[in-house]
Chains A and B, each alone.
Chain A
Amino acid sequence: MAERLFGVETEYALTAIGARGQSLDRAPIAEAVMHLARTTLPCLPDEFSGGMFLQNGARFYVDVGLHPECTTPEVSNPWDAVRYVQAGERLLLCLATAVAAKRRAGQLLLMRCNVDYGGMQSTWGCHESYMHRADPRAMPKQIVPHLVSRLIYTGAGGFDNRSGGVEFMLSPRVAHMTSEVSGESTHNRGIFHTKDEPLCRGGYHRLHILCGESLCSELAAWLKLGTTALVVAMTEAGLSPGEEVQLRTPVIAMRMFAQDPTCTAVAESPGGKRLSAINIQRHYLSLAEAHVGDAFMPPWAGEVCRQWRAVLDRLQGGPQAVATTLDWAIKLALFKEHVRRRGFVWESLPLWTEVARRLAAAPARTPHREQPLAAELVLGNNSPVAGEVTHLAPLMRANGLSWNCFGPFLNLRQELFEIDMRFGQLGDTGIFAALDASGALSHHVAGVENIEDAIERPPDVPRARRRGELIRQLSGEQERYSCDWLGVWDRQLGRIIDLSDPFAIASEWKECSDDDLGPLRGLPARVREHLALLRVRGRRVAPF
């Protein structure tokens, strides 16, 4: 059976709140966390990212937007994928807690949330990488329908952060996917990301997926990796798994699926077929089940198919059937209850959202457009939108809404956003963590365990294992040695231990130069880039 390799990069929201509730500058906090990691953990610096590689083979650095990012080592099964994500979170939380204590920084919060609700309307990611040998040009067609529809179990749940109202989405990051295919990652994001940087030799490609989200539920995270790895395997084997479930407008379909907790919304295929997200997923599943024993499938394919089928069966029972298992469904239940406690009816939120939208868009607000919508501004004697308030009166009356509730609606909106952020907060005070500790959830996957071991030891993948060993061995000499995905570098003597073959265990130091790479001939261009980088930084390397 085939070995599949994949990994996860998770960006976290980092916040420091002072004693008076004020926001503290995050840059020095992020640097303090990195410094503590660098000086207390067995690690080697990563010249390219400015971060470091750890003894478990993982990478840790601060990505654009001051988001601490943990990248798992290469793993070969979805259990290890989830374990190493959890290992990264425990490590990050530990570092942040130590920094907070040392700096007396008030609250230092790390959150899995992937969208901002503070007015930036921004998003950040949880990316997946899958190694494969398929033709990259063939991949989008085969995998896009899967990526569009898998959100029914991989969605983190939350709200459209570009909306002036309250619009629940199974996957809030979907609101930021603006094209089907794109090479961009910080704007104009695509469902399919064309980046293909293999970070290894041997003719492999790396499928890089950035439309996913950080998840709290083990089962959701496990399925996200397991099912997608099987879709990649089937594509590589030439089965064309997405052929019969093409979508006419994938971006629109994805948004429609993300807005429908019943999972019954349908999107059209180019041929006019009407497909629900569950239909599409069942198609991929059936194909996987039909080939589960084939040589190209990984050994765990059968177990993924079993869990995949089980979750799709449950989803047909509606959101309540998965309300203790999947992130979005847990949140939906909590949000609905919170709305009820605040005296609102969940079904009234679309109307309130329409009211907010029209007020925000009212021309008279133009000078005030940068100000958040506030009840006092809207309903006050000198309201800049008095005309629109009058214009909205029939809608309000027809639906039993009262202007007295507009202010409470805006407050409720803010509370729901805070609840969403607090849900994925790392540590015991996060809402998900508290629910998990109380026994109210059922999301664990048997075999996702021994996280302490995953913090210290790499997975059973040759080059990850070798990377970890070298880091443990050489971490005391960070001035001399550095690490990246391709190898461990001796800057002093201009040598590399070549880790570019993921399935080989390299043990010998090799000389490296630009003119004659010797044993390194044929390595990706990144080797040359690294050599150039070392030369620019004045490290001694063999002459070019």
Chain B
Amino acid sequence: MRERERHHDDIRGPQLPAPAVDSGAVREAAERLLAQGTDAIDRALSGNSTAFLAATRQEGGQ
């Protein structure tokens, strides 16, 4: 593994104001997520979730 470069960073001051959020970019990303998510979910669902959950029942671990 490569040796990771070590940095000594400047000590940060008091809390900075929250950065401005590009709401347009956030909205676009959300739309993309939902569009892709809908496809992914439709492909993944078994069509009988009750049976799936019964079949995937898990005992407790640690």
Q: Which residues of A contact B (CB under 8 A)?
A: 1, 11, 13, 15, 17, 21-23, 63-67, 77, 79-80, 109, 111, 116-120, 122-125, 127, 185-187, 210, 282, 286, 289-293, 299-303, 305-306, 309, 313-314, 316-317, 320-321, 323-324, 330, 333-334, 337-338, 341, 372, 411, 414-415, 417-419, 421-422, 425, 429-431, 434-435, 438-442, 447, 450, 453-454, 457, 459-460
Contact = CB atoms under 8 A, between A and B. Distances in A.
B61 A460 contact: no
19 contacts: A11-B61, A15-B58, A17-B56, A64-B59, A65-B61, A116-B59, A119-B53, A122-B60, A186-B62, A282-B15, A292-B12, A334-B33, A337-B38, A338-B41, A415-B45, A417-B53, A421-B53, A422-B45, A440-B37
A441 B56 contact: no
Given A1-B6, A15-B56, A447-B4, A186 B61 contact: yes
Interface residues of B, number: 48
B40 A431 contact: yes
A453 B30 CA distance: 34
Contacts of A80: 1
Interface string B31-62: 01111111111011110111111111111111
A321 B18 CA distance: 12
B41 A292 contact: no
Given A333-B37, A422-B41, 17 more contacts: A15-B58, A17-B56, A22-B55, A65-B60, A65-B61, A118-B55, A122-B61, A124-B58, A300-B7, A317-B21, A415-B45, A419-B41, A421-B52, A429-B43, A434-B44, A440-B29, A457-B1
Contact of B37 (A67, A309, A431): A431
A341 B59 CA distance: 32
Interface of B is mostly: loop
Interface of A is mostly: mixed
A323 B33 CA distance: 8
Contact of B40 (A23, A67, A435): A435
B54 A118 contact: yes
A77 to B, nearest CB: 6
A125 B46 contact: no
B55 A434 contact: no
Contacts of B40: 431, 434-435, 438
A440 B32 contact: yes
Contacts of A421: 52-53, 56
Nearest to B54: A118
A431 B41 CA distance: 6
A282 to B, nearest CB: 6
B36 A67 contact: no
Contacts of A323: 26, 29-30, 33
